[in-house]
Amino acid sequence: MTPQEFSNATSPPRPHPGFFLVFEGPDGGGKSTQAAHVTAWLREQGFDVVACRDPGGTSLGERLRSVVLADESVHPTMRAEMLLYMASRAQLVDEVVQPSLKAGRIVICDRFLLSNIVYQGVAGGLSVDEVAKVGIVATGGLLPDLTLVLDVPSDVARERTGPGRDRIEKRPPEYQARVREGFLAAARARPESLRAYVGRIVLIDGREGAEAVFDRIRKEVEDALALGPRP
């Protein structure tokens, strides 16, 4: 199937002719590396791919990212932190994601709404339902067509990341454990509290080497885009 055929063959029932792929999971799982790998691979196949990160991806989003992750002089509450992420995401959706999807492009994003549901909701103590509702407003109802959750045990994640590099990574091990469990629950069972998150979520074991993980991811993406062998 060619990139040109992809748009017509895979658009229903999505409300846009593009495809929205999101990488999620605890820090240290390799999502950023794999997102870049998949972006390069799909471009080699001839697809028009837009890569972005959340928070960030726009001038406003990058400023908000700096505040919420790097600025040690401010101390947002968990609710304020969640809303800062949502503001960055609203700008990203309006400025980058929606226009790209409407143009038939593939959008690959490093994190999206599920991160807030897990980090500030499941692990941070906010109501998951409230976080999801705010998220739907922030995204205008847009959710990923496919979410890949890259998981590794907490000890492996710590070995990979080393000392915490930002405000979130510096939180205690108990918080990080709740983060991992939140992602696992979302991928394995889709609890009732995540009913608003309707896109497909696939759990990927990130403990293997980067190439082995990419092979698994590539199969999922090929299936989602109908790129496999055709009869």
- CA–CA separation, 190 and 167 (whole Å): 28
- CA–CA separation, 218 and 73 (whole Å): 41
Question: Is 32 within any annotated ligand binding site?
Answer: yes
Question: Is 141 within any annotated ligand binding site?
Answer: no
Question: Is 104 within any annotated ligand binding site?
Answer: no
Q: Which amino acid is located at 159 in the chain?
A: E
Residue the block writes with tokens 């990419």: 214
Any idea what the Cα angle at residue 122 is, between residues 195 and 66, rounded to 5°?
110
- CA–CA separation, 164 and 28 (whole Å): 11
Question: Is 26 within any annotated ligand binding site?
Answer: yes
Question: Is 162 within any annotated ligand binding site?
Answer: no
Instruction: Pick the closest to residue 29 from 164, 149, 129 (CA basis).
Output: 149
Q: Please report, for the chain, how many H helices and E strands are present, in that order.
A: 10, 5
For residues 58 and 143, is the Cβ–Cβ distance under 8 A? no
Question: Is 205 within any annotated ligand binding site?
Answer: no
Question: Is 29 within any annotated ligand binding site?
Answer: yes
Annotated binding residues for ATP? 25-32
Annotated binding site: 25-32
